[in-house]
Structures are given as structure tokens and as C-alpha cells.
Amino acid sequence: MSRRAAARRVVVVGGAGLVFVVGLMQLVPYGWTKTNPPVTADAPWPDAESEAIARESCYSCHSNETDWPAYSYLAPMSWLVRRDVDRGREELNFSEWGERSDAGDAADEVEDGAMPPRQYTVIHRGARLTEDEARVLATALERMDDEGG
């Protein structure tokens, strides 16, 4: 076999192997279900602007109104998305306010630039908070905290 034919064979066999492995990954049920449970208590946003910012930057992981992206249907991305949403909802859920809420903690995360997570804003550029947006959101969350959220 010529060197070129051998190289081609490696590419073809490797490619087929990759397709096969990705295909197998789709059989793992984790990440199949994309649930949006009912909204039991909407967070009491003090104004429409802060709510819009939170919906854009936080609700995908911290609410029951997740906008599941197309790539969340393909393993292994589906596993990562599912894990983020499960853990995010557990920490803070703007749709189950009172039960899963700590507005003061959320304000701190925004002020520290810790949320939304970087691996998310790399893909979802619109979710990145500008300085102004971070200020508006943190102020609203602090107000909700003062009012007992």
C-alpha cells in the first residue's frame, strides 16, 4: 500500500470510529429529557429592565423557563447542559421564588462577575453582562433581598 493510501485509510477508519462513538453517546438517556416544570412563584422583579436582563443572562439555568438550545439535543453537549441546569436550578430558581432564592447571594455573584459562567457567555454572547447591566441587575437583586427574597 502506498503511503498516501495508508494515510487515507487512517482518516476513513478514524472518521467512522468517531461517528460510531458519537452515535453510541446518543443512547445514554441522561440529557434526553428537557423539562420545564411549572412556574410556582415568579421572582418579584422591581422593574422590567432588570427582569429582562435576568431572563437573558440567568434564566436558562436558574428558572423553569429554560430555552433549551439546539446543541443540547446532541451528546455529549446535552450532558453538560443538563448538568448546568440541574445544579443551577438547585442553587437558585427564579421560578420557585421563596423556596430557592437568595437574592443577596445572587447580587454578590453578579458583582463579582462570577455569574453567568464564562463557558456559557463564550457561546451565548448576548448573555454577557455589560457593566451597566450588571449594576442594574445587582441593584434589583439587592432590593429584592431587602424585601425578603
- How far is 146 from 149, CA to CA, in rounded Å? 7
Q: How far is the CB of 23 from ligand HEC (least distance, A)?
A: 26
Tell me whether residue 9 or residue 87 sits nearer to ligand HEC (CB atom). 87
Residue type, 136: V
Q: Which residues bind ligand HEC (CB under 6 A)?
A: 57-58, 60-62, 84, 87-88, 91-92, 105-106, 109-110, 115-117, 120, 127
Tell me whether residue 5 or residue 134 sits nearer to ligand HEC (CB atom). 134
C-alpha cell at 64: 423553569
Any residues with CB less than 8 A from the CB of 116 and at least 6 apart, and which? Answer: 57, 58, 61, 124, 127, 128, 129
Q: Which of 143, 37, 44, 134 is nearest to 94 (CA)?
A: 44
Q: How far is the CB of 74 from ligand HEC (least distance, A)?
A: 17
Q: How far is the CB of 59 from ligand HEC (least distance, A)?
A: 8
